[in-house]
Structure 1
């Protein structure tokens, strides 16, 4: 009878070890849940950035004024009859 109890205790301990350590353990599941949450947060940030870029592309495709405004701000576009003034701060 004592042998049966000893075998059962060993089996329970082996099952507990598998539960707490190794593949499919609580620690691994917790780690994977954290990794999934981090990845979802990063994906949400990237989706928001992509949406703003798509909105900018749609704006540039549909409105000619948007292209001109961007050229003025980034490239220094000046029309033929305009005068350019450069103000320099000390």
Structure 2
């Protein structure tokens, strides 16, 4: 009788609700969540640094204006690089003249 009770308790420990198998699955999920949290924390830190840079520095705003909006300073010349799109791989025969900035008042 004692042996049967022991076997029943062991079965519940290994395969029942809240048993070893479920505990191991939870440990794996917790570890996966920790890795995801670390990845998201790094992303948040990078975004926070970028926000601080944009708030405090003129260089970051200038860089964004140049790369995302295509803006240039007075006296600069803008050049556009066109990638080849011909099916035979030949470079395009398009020439782009420099764009002079408009005078500012």
Pick the TM interval, shorter chain: 0.7 to 0.9
Partner of 1:26: 20
Partner of 1:50: 44
More helix by share: 1
Partner of 1:73: 67
Q: TM-score, normalising length from structure 1?
A: 0.82
Gaps of 5+ in 1: 1-6
The CA RMSD measured in Å over matched residues stands at 1.4
Q: TM-score, normalising length from structure 2?
A: 0.72
Q: Specify which of 56, 61, 85 is matched with residue 79 of structure 2.
A: 85
Equivalent residues, number: 84
Shift of 1:65: 2.1
Shift of 1:68: 1.4
CA distance in 2, matches of 1:43, 1:58: 22
CA distance in 2, matches of 1:84, 1:16: 76
The runs of at least 4 aligned residues of structure 1 exceeding 6 Å deviation read: none
CA displacement 1:60-90 (0-9 Å, x = unmatched):
0001221111110111012344332223243
Larger RCO, structures 1/2 (Cα 8 Å, 6+ apart): 2
